Structure 1
């Protein structure tokens, strides 16, 4: 498969140094993704406030934060839940989940393998969650309320290149990060944004744009996540650009529809999205039986992104080989890149979380032969 060269400048030549990557090429790629794939992001709020309440539940400190944001068309809000381990030392790091399932409530003991809060806090980490439905409901006729319409007149169509739900969820993660920077118990230099499936698409877009996230975790993100668009269905019936636009017309801008069935015309591809996280840690997780997300494609994107990490001396993927198929149920870790292929189907499971919690995601120290 032919990948676009992530280092090829639009004006010709190559970004062959960190300076040219950060000074020119990175912004070129962000601009192309905004125009053609994810849409233009919402602007910063004109005003933002945090209303915090605290309780101790099942031995875990929980903070509920109402994040209120104001735009030209009014004020709205959404909630952040933050769970802190009870310990004498600060958390080892924080996982911020873009939760499209609404699976996290106020009681940590009611959580599932999708968001195993007691397991995470017992490992010494904090866990934060935003409910994507509170930001942009996952429906084609209601996704603009309550947040997007704060920045666009309610009775008018959005511009063709305006971001829709996925972009709004990513924007919400950045507003949650605004709060985490103020919390006295959180080290803002050790926050990972994580999402599964459609949440994984949003987490990648959030991490590509917002360099405050120290790590970006894509769990089974598939089409318009870690999977390359140019692979089409990957020979396994995976979701394509056309299928995702037809099934979820509220996720991406109208400009993305120009590439339905014509993925080769895209000026970017998804390995370049992963590369935009460099030099911070990128984490790609796939599942063997998740054909819709194309695990081989996600693997190939991960390997291809290492070309940009090489500029920083961080191009070691931790893999023993760049060829598909790697060992299953094994975590591979380089200085700034992590990957695993879990047995089974589409999901965020206890096995995935064990890999993340054991993966030392906030360090650039290599771990032996790459396996963990």
Structure 2
């Protein structure tokens, strides 16, 4: 049974907000598309009869990927002009319609407001940290309020604008500064007086415990004389020490990571609380859109070099980072961590997570039309991944000639086979043909993705604008940060 918003909103002339469960939303989209049945996704349980394939000999039922340099007319793209004017727009159109969805023309304006500006430390380095909120204009549908949460951290000693890496992550200040002892004492004296005024019974309590303070001094845990922990410093420390700033943009403040949230968040706001149409944007495109809006804001920050802003993410946020980079050519560089299906992993590969997993279980990341390619029974018959007009190699190619670093870990440490490292490498190899066409350097190998061999773990391919490195850690890109920075600094 559907649940709607209250009568007050409806009485003001706004359509009542639909509140679907994730299953209801999926079924609604299937009805719109005329799909009667979807093929089940692969199981991560090795004991399941439908377990995900991990046999490379069975991984390529559809070995031929779309060639990013063959136009829809069948013409070979042989120069940059044809790429920019003809082929690239064709690929973008297919990705928007069939895979990630379109950003609506009614997407709202964002008004940015700096809530807090603080002087803090990241490791041993002084920084200026700002908490920033971007309010989406919701005058078209006041029942949905979207406030994008973001943190900006810049080296305090920078003499000129710095490059910045935007990361999909919860928005948090790195080390909020505490008032000095003298100021904290003044706060406690004033607070005790207020508490006693509101409740006189507290006066004998405070007299009995004269040393007690309502606000205790915080232990920041920072000891400049303590030895450094073993291993690499945290990502934020490495960025600041190398002269970069960083941004944390919180995906949860933009669009919920579930199907029930599709009539809420920024997608729900633009649809006035109604269910999506088949080519409407999914969460990945919504997160990417918000990153672009954050880039608009960064152009107003004097100490940010807005021509050198990068985008980073891991796992589902690795998918979002790649989508961001592909659709907004203002982002100068990308670090794409363990992005899997819907990211660098080819849909046509039968290894680990499958297209059917996203179409059935994580449909909210994608456009509704993506579900068609998992249909076993529908008004149009059935479709498979091989019917998709585009592939992940072309998504990477949309970033060319801008630098993209593709990062993975190893299954033994938690970067599971589910992600299909081999397939990700194959897509990068194929995308390299576009980098070469545009005068950039790719991985430094041929573009024959069927024969090129994935390099050993910890052997980076970082001599060009397209880079690859599989580290020996888990489901994170942290072990590759220092290599990313070395590579990015070399490309300046």
TM above 0.5, yes or no, is: yes
Aligned equivalents of 2:108, 2:162: Cα separation in 1: 33
| 1:162 and 2:291 matched | no
In the TM superposition, 1:107-256 aligns within 5 A as: 107-108=174-175, 116-154=235-273, 156-233=274-351, 238-256=352-370
1:91 is displaced (CA, Å) by: 5.5
Deviation of 1:86 (Å): 2.2
Cα offset, 1:95, TM superposition: 0.5
Residue aligned with 2:173, SS: coil
Q: Which has the higher contact order (CA 8 A, sep 6+)?
A: 2
Q: SS in structure 2 opposite 1:37?
A: helix
Paired position in structure 2 for 1:306: 432
Quote the RMSD (CA, aligned, Å). Answer: 2.4
State the alpha-carbon separation in 2 of the partners of residues 27 and 54 from structure 1: 41
Give the superposition deviation at 1:248.
1.4
Partner of 1:357 in structure 2?
485
Q: Tell me the TM-score normalized by structure 2.
A: 0.68
Question: For this pair of structures, how many residues does the alignment match?
Answer: 354
Partner of 1:54, secondary structure, is strand
> Who is 1:64 aligned against?
131
Partner of 1:73: 141
Tell whether the 8 Å contact from 1:42 to 1:171 is kept in structure 2 after alignment. Answer: no
1:150, CA displacement in angstroms?
A: 2.1
1:88-99 equivalent positions in 2, closer than 5 A: 88-90=158-160, 92-99=162-169
Find the aligned partners of 2:167 and 2:105 in 1 and give their Cα distance.
21
TM-score of the superposed pair, with normalisation by structure 1: 0.88
- Contact in 1 for aligned 2:127/2:157 (Cα 8 Å): no
The answer for the alignment partner of 1:367 in structure 2 is: none
Note if contact 1:91-1:125 (Cα within 8 Å) is conserved in structure 2. Answer: no
Q: How has the CA–CA distance of structure 1 residues 320 and 232 changed in structure 2, closer, same or farther, with 3 Å as cutoff?
A: closer
Gaps of 5+ in 2: 1-62, 177-219, 221-231, 375-382
Encode CA deviations 1:198-239: one digit per residue, 9 max, x unaligned.
001111111111010001221000101001111122xxxx10
Higher helix proportion (structure 1 or 2):
2
Partner of 2:20: none
**Superposition deviation, residue 197 in structure 1:** 0.5
Residues in 1 aligned to 2:67 and 2:447: alpha-carbon distance in whole angstroms: 21
Higher Cα Rg: structure 1 or 2?
2
2:80 paired with 1:18: yes
